[in-house]
């Protein structure tokens, strides 16, 4: 961690340098310790609370696996299974049991009982994990990076090279949203980098990257969505890197929107599959990247361009993206667009071709540093301001009241018709309206109860 620690700043107050003690980093100004998770610095603005939230997600993921194992055991107790089907389910159950043990072992560094987060301070900092991100959200990417072969990895690296000049010197490189780390690893090995920092917020991805880049071989199951054959619904993969990474390649756990670095720390910032999925608006993100770069530093982007903001105006086209980048202190981006394979598992019928949007641009001038990222408004954080009664809140409140009332009617005795009659008696809706509404609600509940955990 010694070489990496000299690059870091406090993600709360931006102070640097940080003190180092027993593998932990400390900010004197904030009086906060930043732990190390399996040797990887944990540089979140509220480290204990973030660790507590990830621990909760770990426990939830393991509970889901436990429920799935129990469900498979119930299936195997039925007498009407064909012999081949029984063999497949038995095999799958053993794979899920192995997966449960493997995840528990791999994520042991995260499961630290002593680290109890303060939720109030977590809110006050307005930093939180994306609600839709779990430990297994990008689990398949682990196998793509380190087990499927080189086709997709080589195609990704070629796209980076396509927007760089020949023999370009990248200098100090930061890869934001590095995932399981293969692209950052390949860039460090095959391009001219003095130091490479691969940062992501998912501990599972980073711990896998750490193991394989240090020379370990991991055995983990892949669970293809559409298996090619009988044997392909659970495939035990051996994950490994071509060679051990050198001591100038660093892994870091942190939030891209609170990147823990001083201004002008890097010669190159790379954003793979990031700019269209991150919650912050592109002009603000571009300004953050500008501030991380040295004079004449370079920003390299690679990945999809499928902005999913709820605001239509912020779902930018390629032309708008180029304009925003150029207006954020950068040169006119050099763009390459090419169709490459994406998530094409050799054991799955699923997979697609993705037309990726890559660009390279130089920092021509500095821009004002944006305010620290705030994930939550003041009325949630302080609790002192009125909660706004927006149209969406009003609709949700009414819907929740009706659904809560329906839930209260479930007693194991009443039928849908009985419940509809009660809703009519309470003058919530007519019986003709109530029956289909209740049926739709219960259908969703039934479907949710039957969903299995995914990997």
Write down the pLDDT at residue 58: 83
* CA separation, residue 202 to residues 51, 134, 180, 208, 261 (Å): 11, 8, 9, 10, 19
Beta bridge partners of 26: 19, 33
Q: Can you tell me the distance from the alpha carbon of 324 to that of 303, in angstroms, rounded to the nearest whole number?
A: 17
Who has greater pLDDT, 157 or 454? 157
State the alpha helices, DSSP H only, in 309-455. Answer: 318-326, 378-381, 391-409, 416-425, 431-450
d(CA 113, CA 100): 19
CB 231 within 8 A of CB 88: no
pLDDT of 453 above 80:
no
Cis bond upstream, residue 17 (ω within 30) = yes
Round to whole Å and give the CA distance between 307 and 311.
10
CA atoms within 13 A of residue 1's CA, in its CB half-sphere: 22
- Per-residue confidence (pLDDT) for residue 125, from 0 to 100: 44
Per-residue pLDDT at 178 exceeds 70: yes
Tokens 């696996």, located at residue:
65
* Cα separation of the two ends of the chain: 31
Q: What is the pLDDT of residues 410-429, one digit of tens each?
A: 999 999 999 999 988 988 78
Evaluate whether 284 touches 291 at the Cβ level (below 8 Å). no
pLDDT in tens, 435-446: 888 998 899 888
What average pLDDT does the segment 94-110 reach?
95
252-297 residue pLDDT tens: 999 999 999 999 999 999 999 999 999 899 999 999 999 999 999 9
The token pair at 263 is 């201004």
Q: What is the pTM of this model?
A: 0.85
What is the tens place of the pLDDT at every residue in 123-132? 444 455 565 6
Tokens (6 digits) for 403 = 């659904």
Beta bridge partners, 169, equal 192
Residue 379 is predicted with a pLDDT of: 77
Which pLDDT tens digit goes with each residue over 293-335?
Answer: 999 999 999 999 999 888 999 999 999 999 999 999 999 999 9
**Residue 217: band (very low, low, confident or very high) from pLDDT cuts 50, 70, 90:** very high
Contact 435, 417 (CB under 8 A): yes
Residue 119: pLDDT band by 50, 70, 90 thresholds?
A: very low
How many C-alpha atoms does 366 have within 13 Å on its Cβ side? 10
Give 22-71 pLDDT, tens digit per residue. Answer: 879 999 999 999 999 999 999 999 898 888 888 888 888 888 899 999 99
**Residue 186: both structure tokens together:** 């390949």
Alpha carbon separation from 357 to 305, 354, 363 (Å, rounded): 6, 9, 19
Q: Which of 314, 313, 325 is nearest to 287 (CA)?
A: 325
Average pLDDT of the chain, as a whole number: 90
What's the pLDDT at 377? 74
Angle at 232 between CA 230 and CA 236, to 5 degrees: 130
How many percent of the chain have pLDDT more than 70?
92
Which percentage of the chain shows pLDDT scores above 90?
70
Backbone φ and ψ of 162, nearest 5°: -65, -25
Residue 174 is classified by DSSP as E
| Phi, then psi, of 358 in degrees rounded to 5 | -115, 145
Q: What is the pLDDT of residues 333-352, one digit of tens each?
A: 999 999 999 999 999 999 99
């Amino acid at each position: 961690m010694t070489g990496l620690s000299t690059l870091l700043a406090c993600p709360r107050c931006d102070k640097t340098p940080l003190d180092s003690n027993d593998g932990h980093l400390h900010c004197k100004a904030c009086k906060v310790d930043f732990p190390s998770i399996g040797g990887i610095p944990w540089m979140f603005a509220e480290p204990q609370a973030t660790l507590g939230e990830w621990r909760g997600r770990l426990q939830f993921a393991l509970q889901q696996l436990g429920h799935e194992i129990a469900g498979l055991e119930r299936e195997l107790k039925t007498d009407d299974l064909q012999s081949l089907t029984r063999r497949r389910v038995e095999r799958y159950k053993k794979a899920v049991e192995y997966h449960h043990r493997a995840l528990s072992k791999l994520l042991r560094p995260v499961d630290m009982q002593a680290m109890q987060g303060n939720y109030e301070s977590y809110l006050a900092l307005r930093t939180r994990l994306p609600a839709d991100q779990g430990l297994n959200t990008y689990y398949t990417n682990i196998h793509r990076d380190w087990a499927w072969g080189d086709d997709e990895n080589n195609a990704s690296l070629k796209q980076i090279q396509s927007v760089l000049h020949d023999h370009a010197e990248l200098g100090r490189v930061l890869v934001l949203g590095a995932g399981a780390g293969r692209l950052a690893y390949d860039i460090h090995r095959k391009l001219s980098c003095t130091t490479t920092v691969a940062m992501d917020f998912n501990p599972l991805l980073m711990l896998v990257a750490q193991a394989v880049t240090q020379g370990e071989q991991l055995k983990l199951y892949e669970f293809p969505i559409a298996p090619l054959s009988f044997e392909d619904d659970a495939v035990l993969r051996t994950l490994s890197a071509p060679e051990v990474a050198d001591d100038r390649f660093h892994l870091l756990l942190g939030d891209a929107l609170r990147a823990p670095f001083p201004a002008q720390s890097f010669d190159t910032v790379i954003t793979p599959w990031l700019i269209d999925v991150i919650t912050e608006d592109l002009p603000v993100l571009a300004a953050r990247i500008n501030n991380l770069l040295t004079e004449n530093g370079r920003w390299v982007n690679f990945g999809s361009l499928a902005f999913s903001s709820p605001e239509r105006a912020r779902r930018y086209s390629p032309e708008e993206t180029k304009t925003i980048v150029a207006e954020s202190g950068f040169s006119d981006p050099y763009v390459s667009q090419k169709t490459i394979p994406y998530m094409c598992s050799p054991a799955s019928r699923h997979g697609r071709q993705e037309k990726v949007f890559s660009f390279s641009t130089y920092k021509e001038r500095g821009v004002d540093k944006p305010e620290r990222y705030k994930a939550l408004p003041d009325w949630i954080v302080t609790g002192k301001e009125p909660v706004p009664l927006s149209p969406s809140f009003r609709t949700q409140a009414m819907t929740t009241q009706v659904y809560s009332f329906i839930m209260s009617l479930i007693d194991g005795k009443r039928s849908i018709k009985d419940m509809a009659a009660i809703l009519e008696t309470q003058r919530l809706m007519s019986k003709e309206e109530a029956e289909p509404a209740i049926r739709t609600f219960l259908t969703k509940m039934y479907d949710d109860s039957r969903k299995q955990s995914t990997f």
